[in-house]
Amino acid sequence: MTASTTTPPTVPGYVNWVVKRLLRSPAHRVMSKTTMLLTFAGRQTGNRYVAVVRYLRQGELVSCYTDSKWWINLRDEPAVELLIAGRRMTGIATVVEDPAVIADSLSEFLHTMPGDSKYYGVRRNAQGLPRADDIAEAAKHTRLIRIQLASGR
């Protein structure tokens, strides 16, 4: 069986608008264990951008994924700001473009957050686990952003 050929669903813009406000409010606990705000500067314009992304934190390393083009602004390992669980943090972002590395990381992420599989076009097998072939396909057009948090956070 081949990987899904349909376009994975994406979150409508108004949802991100609502989530940004929620994550900045005292009610952030509803979503902030899995969703963060990532703030970064545009490489050419210097404009400030804020992306709503799901994340996986392992100690001082935060991983997130995107198939949108905003990741291009993170190519030069810039300093970024994160709003995680109501706390502002800083770190250095590194973009990973190697599909094999992305697939390994995305597999771990989707085991932790199975409901996100649909956003990557990843189906589940008979045991309910993410299908490796779908993950490999998703990794071809997904970027992994690894953020090393600044010490003391």
**pLDDT, tens digit (0-9, with 9 covering 90-100), for 94-145:** 999 999 999 999 999 999 999 999 999 999 999 989 999 999 999 999 999 9
Q: Which two tokens stand for residue 22?
A: 């929620």
pTM: 0.88
- Give 121-138 as a DSSP string: T--B-TTSPBPHHHHHHH
* DSSP tag of 47: -
**pLDDT, tens digit (0-9, with 9 covering 90-100), for 78-102:** 999 999 999 999 999 999 999 999 9
Helix (H) or strand (E) holding 81: strand 79-84
Give the C-alpha separation, 50 to 48, whole Å. 7
Q: Which residues contact 105 (CB under 8 A, 6 or more apart)?
A: 63, 65, 96, 144
